[in-house]
């Protein structure tokens, strides 16, 4: 598996491949007109910003810190994340 630094410099299409093959879907949230999907990998989290209006992914963001999970606190349990190694 790749690390977050390698992921961040990948072309957009390769990031999509990583999400598809290695990402584990956790939950989603709404941000304006976007639906933001949250995925986890072995070592970092990935957000996929999807626009229903344009029917495409607008942005992919990766982060390592659990503070990045704050927008999802109503939808996920952090105790479940303690059961697996992170960072």
pLDDT in tens, 72-84: 888 766 566 555 5
The reported pTM is 0.83
17, HSE (Cβ side, Cα atoms, 13 Å): 8
The DSSP bridge partners found for residue 62 are 46
pLDDT > 90: percent of the chain: 76
Domains and CATH numbers, the chain: 4-66 (3.30.67)
Per residue in 43-63, pLDDT (tens digit) is: 999 999 999 999 999 999 999
């Amino acid at each position: 598996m790749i690390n977050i630094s390698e992921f961040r410099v990948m072309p957009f299409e390769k990031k999509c491949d990583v999400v598809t093959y290695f990402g584990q879907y956790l939950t989603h949230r709404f941000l304006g007109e976007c639906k933001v999907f949250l995925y986890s990998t072995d070592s970092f989290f990935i957000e996929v910003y999807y626009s229903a209006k344009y029917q495409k992914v607008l942005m992919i963001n990766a982060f390592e810190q659990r503070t990045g999970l704050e927008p999802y606190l109503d939808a996920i349990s952090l105790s479940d994340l303690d059961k697996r190694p992170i960072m």
